[in-house]
Structure 1
Amino acid sequence: MNHHDYRVMLQKTAAGSECPFPESEFQRRREALNESMRAESLDALLLTDPSDIYYLTGYNTFEVSVHSALVFTPRRMVLQVPSIETGPAVACTRVEEILGYRWEGVEEVLMPLAKVLAEAGPRIGVDFWHGSLRHGVMSGLAERLPGHRFLDAGPLMDGVRIVKSAAELDCLAESARITGLGIEAAAQAVRPGITDSEIAAIGARVMHEAGSEFMSMQPIVTVGRRSSIIHANHQRHTIAEGEPVFLEFGSAWKRYTAPMMRTVIAGAPSAKMEAVFDVCHLLYAALLDAMRPGHRFDDAAQAGEQVLAPIATEAFFSGVFGYTVGAQFPPSWVEGTGFIARGQMRRFEVGMVFHLPLCLRLPGQWGIGCSDTVRVTEQGGEPITANPWTLGCSQ
């Protein structure tokens, strides 16, 4: 049975059976996108970011390294996937037009894709800055559609996704609950003699047992001096007495992730560790207060910089006080529709959700990090995760 016949047979029994949301939720999203497209006079969008495709259709797969695309117009949706993704395309979506191509025959994508875009109209929006947009696809389409204009529409899709619906907030709340279970279990297991890998395994097991799907990023655990190196991860290192153990976890629920950071000391913290942790806590309070509707992301970043000023030359901080989270796929849970950082002039709106990755690293010594995932309310930031905001100490 080839993939075309497989699709036809599946559609008789499994079409839409694993779609994550009711059609009304997807219709709300599509109407918002249609309105934004009209404002930009776009005839169609060519979407290749797995999370964008999921957002509009429910298409869900762990195999996101292959070419997949969604052509979205006000009247039509066409999903293009390789043969090995026929199952998810049928079961996870209600899209009626599915274009399959042989997994090993990626050159087959151009002709049918060009045909659909030719029928849509000459102004096509794409996200030029997303890594899923392959140069071969873009150059091939430009060659086949010389009368079409391909315009950067990344900000357009970001603007639709950045404010979360009630259904999305429910998913983030469930992720937050599971993330909390995993990070608490890992924190309780910290002691001298255990390895960072064992701590990560404990957290991962608890989150999966509690219902997490495959995660967009695996649990992050670093200890001692390695915790001063941003984006290092567990690597079979044994925890020694007095070392900080940095934890950053994020479970997935219907692909939505609410991450959280904690730091636990394998023994008693030094006075310096406590002082750095206190800065993180003050920084968190300042950001919650600044995350009010109408305030700019830049305003919140400036409030954060004022707290950081006394330690700014001693500790490394990424410069990003918060980033949006939502539905994502590996390799990252960062949604990327907004950043709390200097120069970011978008204004907060009720329903935006940010992870506040507040970690201060003293190079060659250690790092202390603590965070929550926070939603914007009329009164400011309100945590979705339930971080105890203590510098944990093992007994």
Structure 2
Amino acid sequence: MDYTAYRHTLAETLACSELPFSADEYEARLGKVRAAMQRQGFEALLLTDPADINYLTGYHTFEVSVHACLVCTAQRLVLQVASIETGAAVVSARADEILGYRWENPDEVIGPLCDLLAPCARVGIDGWHASLRQGVMAALTARLGAGRFQEAGALLDEIRLVKSDAELACLRESARITSAGLEAAMAVIRPGVTDNEVAAEGARALLAAGSEFMSLQPIVTSAERISVIHVNHKRRAIAAGDPVFLEFGAAYQRYTAPMMRTAIAGQASHEMQAVADLCRELYEALCRHMLPGETFDAAARAAEAVLSGWQETLFHSGVFGYAVGAQFPPSWVEGSGYIASGQARSFEAGMVFHLPLCLRLPGHWGIGLSDTVMVTERGGVALTDNDWRLRELPA
């Protein structure tokens, strides 16, 4: 049986059997996207970000390293996936047509796409996303001309930023699972235990509580390694007095609500506690400014004012929040909005951000505490349940 026969046979019994949301939810999303396309003069969108494809169709797979795309026009949604992915497309995607290409022969990608896009004078692409392959675009522009392809990454970003009730329910469930994983991981922290052992216990709890494959695996570091951004567990034993940093994010229907906590294998120093208190101050300032109509820039500047006395001592990334939602590896960052200086967009009710408040003393340690927060008329309201304490654990 070839992949085309496989797809059609599978569809007889399992078509859309793993669709995450109702048809009405997808129709509402598609209506917003098509209205935006019409306003901006696009006859088609060529979407390659796995999260954008998931948003409009439900399509999900753990294999996101191969080419996949969605062509969206005013009349049709056509999903193109590798032959090995047609099964996942049948069970999880709501599309008018599924096109396969042989996994081992990516040249088969271009012809069907040219046929779909040739009648469209203006095609929107997300040129800044890594999923848009240079080889695909080079072949398309060679055949169809470069002039018809225009940047449109912001079109989906602006729509995805504001979450529906169904999406918020998924984020709340992710928050519940994330908390269970963190609690289990923190319970095993003590001198002599390795960061791998802590991560392993957290991962076990996350999966047991219902997480799907995660966009980022559990992050656990200790002592001076906390001061280095984006390193992870590496068989390091925890020593007495070490801070231990944890950042977890469970996936539920691909939605992730991350959270950071920090524990001390013993007693916290006065300086560590002062930095933890500073994280809490930053969080409260941000939440006060996460009001509909207020800008991302204003919230970031309020946080910078809190941080001002420490800027020569502690490192912070400069991004006080980033939008989260449905995502795939290698990141749970949605990429649709950032709370940072110079970001002129305004908050709207229903936006959801992770506030990654990790402050690092380079070469020594770091303290990280965070919540995933929803914008409401009252300001930012946490979906996760951080207690904002620096946990001191028996040494």
> For 2:393 and 2:300, how far apart are their aligned partners in 1?
33
- 2:92 aligns with 92
Q: Is the 8 A contact 2:354 2:371 kept in 1?
A: yes
Letter in 2 for 1:195: T
Please tell me the residue identity of whatever aligns with 2:179: G
Q: For each residue in 1:283-316, what CA deviation from the matched residue of structure 2 results, as whole angstroms up to 9, or x when unmatched? A: 0000000111110000000000000001111000
Deviation at 1:234, TM superposition (A): 0.2
Aligned letter for 1:89? A
> Does the aligned pair in 1 maintain the 2:164–2:350 contact within 8 Å?
yes
Query: How many angstroms apart in 2 are the aligned matches of 1:135 and 1:336?
Result: 20
Q: For residues 334 and 367 of structure 1, what CA distance do their matches in structure 2 show? A: 21
Q: Which residue of 2 aligns with 1:130?
A: 129
Q: Deviations over 1:143-199 (max 9, x none)?
A: 111285101000111011000000000000000000001001111211111000000
Match of 1:180 in 2: 179
* Corresponding position of 2:160: 161
Partner of 1:150: 149
* TM-score (normalised: structure 2): 0.99
Q: What amino acid sits opposite 1:197 in the alignment?
A: N
- 2:65 maps to 65
Alignment of 1:96-115 (within 5 A): 96-115=96-115
Partner of 1:52: 52
| 2:59–2:94 Cα contact (<8 Å) kept | no
Residues 122 and 147 in structure 1, CA contact (< 8 A), matched pair in contact too: no
Secondary structure of 1:279's aligned partner: helix
- Residue 218 of structure 1 deviates from its aligned partner by 0.1
Q: Cα deviation per residue 1:174-231 (whole Å; 9 max; x = unaligned)?
A: 0000000100111121111100000000111001000000000000000001011111
Between the aligned partners of 1:96 and 1:63, the Cα distance in structure 2 is 22
SS in structure 2 of the partner of residue 343 of structure 1: coil
Alignment partners' CA distance in 2, 1:185 and 1:148:
54
Asked whether the 8 Å contact 2:19–2:91 carries over to 1, the reply is yes
Q: Distance in 1 between matches of 2:18 and 2:146?
A: 39
For 1:142 and 1:363, the matched residues in 2 are separated by: 47
CA distance in 2, matches of 1:8, 1:250: 36
Give me the whole-angstrom Cα distance separating, in 1, the residues matched to 2:158 and 2:283: 25
Aligned residue type for 1:30: L
Residue equivalent to 1:41: 41
3-state DSSP of counterpart to 1:189: coil
Distance 1:95 1:280 in 2: 45
Equivalent residues in 2 for 1:224-373 (5 A)? Answer: 224-373=223-372
Find the aligned partners of 1:46 and 1:92 in 2 and give their Cα distance: 20
Cα RMSD of the aligned pairs, angstroms, is 0.7
Partner in structure 1 of residue 75 of structure 2: 75
Give the Cα–Cα distance (whole angstroms) in 2 for the partners of residues 221 and 368 of structure 1. Answer: 12
- The alpha-carbon deviation at position 118 of structure 1 amounts to 1.2
Gaps of 5+ in 1: none
Counterpart of 1:42 in structure 2: which amino acid? F
Residue 255 of structure 2: SS of its match in structure 1? coil
Q: Which residue of 1 aligns with 2:18?
A: 18
**Deviation (angstroms), 1:96:** 3.2
CA gap 1:297/1:147 in 2 versus in 1, 3 angstroms: closer
Q: Distance in 2 between the 1:284 and 1:101 partners?
A: 48
Q: Distance in 2 between matches of 1:7 and 1:333?
A: 30
Q: How much does 1:94 deviate? A: 2.4
Contact 1:195 1:236 in 2 (8 A): yes
Q: How far does residue 93 in structure 1 lie from its aligned partner after superposition? A: 1.3
Inter-partner Cα distance in structure 2 for 1:217 and 1:249: 8
Code of the residue aligned with 1:300 in structure 2: it is A
Check the 8 A contact 2:250/2:257 in 1, yes or no. Answer: yes
Counterpart in the other structure of 2:220: 221
Q: Distance in 2 between matches of 1:162 and 1:359?
A: 23
The whole-number CA distance in structure 2 between the counterparts of 1:60 and 1:147 is 30
- TM-score of the pair, normalised by structure 1: 0.99
Identity of aligned residues (%): 60
Between the aligned partners of 2:156 and 2:136, the Cα distance in structure 1 is 20
Which segments of 5 or more consecutive residues in structure 2 lack a partner in the other structure? none
Q: Distance in 2 between matches of 1:159 and 1:152?
A: 14
- Partners of 2:137 and 2:94 lie apart in 1 by 27
Is residue 45–residue 126 contact of structure 1 (8 Å, CA) maintained in 2?
yes
Distance 2:24 2:147 in 1: 33
Residues in 2 aligned to 1:346 and 1:96: alpha-carbon distance in whole angstroms: 34
Question: Conserved in 1, the CA contact under 8 Å of 2:76 and 2:96?
Answer: no
Question: Distance in 2 between the 1:383 and 1:361 partners?
Answer: 24
After superposition, the C-alpha distances for 1:83-107 in whole angstroms (9 at most, x for unaligned) are 0001011010122311100000001
Match of 1:13, SS?
Answer: helix
Q: Distance in 1 between matches of 2:323 and 2:257?
A: 10
